[in-house]
């Protein structure tokens, strides 16, 4: 694996692999390098892999709808078989509660209408009929144990919800990444595992010339792409690319609670839920379990960590998420044995990713995925490949941001939206919802 490549991609998670695939399909000689033993073993493997289109910005909404179509016909996108099988898209739909705190989803629905995404509005009676296991008392704003009124209803009722049929989850995020790896290899891309990058080399003009691995091996390429997930800040620092970044990225610890679901066959009939009254999202999981993640309410202090040295055990957060969800699903039992994942988001300041070039010629970044970009990996790969190709051909993306055409939805996106130099986007939810 020594030698010369057109581009080295740091990381073989779902987004890194997608960048490798799309560059390979353009005829670039690519090498994805990952310090872990296989594709998708980093934060991708911990992902809830929920596919949904409710984002707080119009661009976020449009990009995720584009992503939905890749998952909808995964086989056609890949164009290859995988001896391990293809990851399955369970398109069960997603139910989002309307609350005062999310302004009854007014702007979210405006974006859905603009992009042309189907949805159904449900009133309280409809939710009761379709989700008889749910208690529709309100509990917000979210609290922590020890706060007065924790787990006690306030005196309201959920007034309605929105059901999105173009949503669901991917059964196995690591397998999905392996699928992309195989497609990239079929297009000529190469992958190197168990190899840690410790240096990004440059020539005397400051242009990227390649990377050095732990142990001293050098691999050359005029283009290096940082798709290192929660290690993105360390890699940007290693490249000397921090100086003109207005948006920073940090590793943020997250716990996902895994519980038995009291409703029979929920793994077959269940839907994804997002409920900001209790600050939790859920999705069904094989074996009739429920996965619960946090919607990052203000009362929960964020736990930023060193990605190379953090406590991978569950904390009280695991139980808090279970208790909050039990407010909505009173029959939910909370076992004493904790199961789930403790993992890291690569959180950006406004929870919107950075898909961009950098101040270092030849060095690019697809990072800050903030717990919400698994679903967008394929369009992100295509957008990054086009960005890299154009910038390497001389285009000044900082002065004149690329317009990326999204092939399924036939819309264009101003890639400057994802700039490292943007102002913090005040329209963001500042949570995993993006
Ligand atoms: C708990 C959790 C739940 C999530 N749920 C969802 C969801 O429901 N829906 C959604 O859309 N998104 C979700 N996400 C986010 C999504 O999973 C991520 O955005 C996506 O997986 C990031 O992929 P990636 O390729 O950028 O990074 P990663 O998968 O983290 O890959 C980065 C890779 O870089 C490698 N690397 C780092 N440094 C080096 C180095 N120096 N040398 C070599 N290799 C290096 C790492 O080993 C790693 O494999 C969730 C994330 C988490 C953690």
Q: Determine whether the shortest distance from the Cβ of 373 to ligand 1 is under 6 A.
A: yes
pLDDT in tens, 298-319: 999 999 999 999 999 999 999 9
The average pLDDT across 11-37 equals 98
Answer whether 55 contacts ligand 1 (Cβ < 6 A). Answer: no
pLDDT, tens only, 77-99: 999 999 999 999 999 999 999 99
Residue with tokens 């449009």: 62
- CB of 224 within 8 A of CB of 345? no
| pLDDT (0 to 100) of residue 402 | 98
* 262 Cα: distance to centroid of ligand 1 (angstroms): 31
Q: How far apart are CA 124 and CA 157, in angstroms?
A: 8
Cα–Cα distances in angstroms (integers) from residue 89 to residues 120, 158, 187, 377, in the given order: 21, 29, 24, 14
Question: What integer pLDDT is reported at residue 226 of this predicted model?
Answer: 99
* Residue whose C-alpha is closest to residue 119's, from 185, 183, 170, 167: 167
Q: Is the CB of 42 under 6 A from ligand 1?
A: yes
Q: Is 371's C-beta closer than 6 angstroms to any atom of ligand 1?
A: yes
Return the sign of the alpha-carbon dihedral for residues 112, 413, 91, 280. negative
Ligand 1, atom 19, lies closest to the CA of 373
Strand 289-294's sheet: what is its strand order?
120-123, 160-164, 94-97, 272-275, 280-285, 289-294, 249-260, 340-348
Whether the pLDDT of residue 155 is over 90: the answer is no
Judge if the beta carbon of residue 408 lies within 6 A of ligand 1: no
- Give pLDDT, residue 2: 64
Is the CA virtual torsion 88, 91, 95, 101 positive or negative?
positive
* pLDDT over threshold 80, residue 171: yes
Query: Can you name the residues that pair with 342 across neighbouring β-strands?
Result: 255
User: What proportions of the chain, in percent to the nearest 5, are helix, strand and coil?
Assistant: 25, 25, 45
Q: What is the distance in A from the centroid of ligand 1 to the CA of 231?
A: 9
- Residue 278 Cβ inside 6 Å of ligand 1? The answer reads no
Ligand 1 closest atom vs CA 14: 25
Write the residue with the smallest CA distance to atom 27 of ligand 1.
229
- For residue 208, the 8-state DSSP code is E
Model confidence pLDDT, tens digit, residues 177-190: 999 999 999 999 99
Cβ of 11 closer than 6 Å to ligand 1, yes or no, is: yes
Tens-place pLDDT, residues 204-218: 999 999 999 999 999
Distance 351 CA to ligand 1 centre (A): 14
355 Cβ inside 6 Å of ligand 1: no
């Amino acid at each position: 694996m020594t030698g010369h490549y057109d581009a080295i991609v740091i990381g073989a998670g779902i987004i890194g692999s997608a960048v490798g695939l799309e560059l390979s399909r353009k005829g670039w000689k690519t090498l994805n390098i990952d310090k872990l033993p296989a594709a998708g073993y980093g934060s991708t493997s911990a992902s809830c892999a929920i596919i949904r289109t409710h984002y707080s910005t119009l661009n976020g909404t449009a990009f995720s709808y584009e992503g939905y179509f890749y998952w909808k016909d995964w086989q056609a996108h890949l164009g290859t078989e995988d001896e391990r099988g293809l990851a399955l898209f369970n398109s069960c739909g997603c139910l989002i509660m309307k609350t005062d705190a999310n302004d009854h989803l007014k702007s979210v629905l405006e974006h859905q209408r603009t992009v042309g995404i189907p949805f159904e509005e449900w009133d309280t009676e409809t939710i009761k009929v379709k989700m008889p296991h749910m208690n529709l008392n309100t509990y917000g704003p979210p609290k922590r144990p020890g706060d007065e009124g924790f787990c006690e209803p306030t005196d309201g009722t959920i007034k309605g919800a929105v059901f999105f049929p173009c949503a669901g989850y991917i059964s196995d995020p690591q397998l999905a990444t392996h699928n992309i790896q195989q497609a990239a290899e079929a297009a000529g891309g190469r992958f190197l595992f168990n190899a840690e990058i410790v240096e990004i080399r440059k020539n005397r003009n400051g242009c990227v010339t390649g990377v050095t691995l732990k142990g001293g091996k050098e691999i050359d390429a005029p283009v290096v792409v940082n798709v290192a997930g929660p290690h993105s800040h360390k890699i940007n620092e290693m490249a000397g690319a921090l100086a003109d970044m207005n948006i920073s990225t940090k590793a943020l610890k997250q716990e996902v609670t895994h519980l038995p679901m009291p409703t029979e066959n929920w793994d077959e009939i269940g839907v994804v839920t997002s409920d900001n009254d209790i600050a939790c999202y859920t999705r069904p999981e094989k074996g009739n379990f429920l996965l619960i993640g946090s919607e990052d309410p203000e009362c929960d202090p964020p736990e930023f960590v060193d990605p190379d040295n953090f406590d991978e055990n569950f904390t009280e957060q695991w139980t808090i998420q279970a208790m909050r969800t039990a407010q909505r699903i009173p029959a939910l039992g909370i076992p004493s044995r904790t199961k789930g994942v403790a993992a890291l988001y690569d959180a950006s300041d406004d929870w919107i990713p950075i898909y961009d070039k950098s101040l270092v010629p030849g060095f690019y970044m697809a990072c800050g995925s903030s717990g919400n970009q698994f679903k967008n990996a394929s369009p992100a790969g295509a957008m990054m490949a086009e960005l890299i190709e154009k910038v390497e051909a001389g285009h000044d993306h900082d002065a004149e941001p690329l317009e990326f055409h999204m092939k399924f939805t036939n819309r264009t996106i101003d890639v400057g939206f994802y700039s490292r130099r943007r102002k913090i986007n005040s329209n963001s939810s500042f949570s995993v919802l993006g």
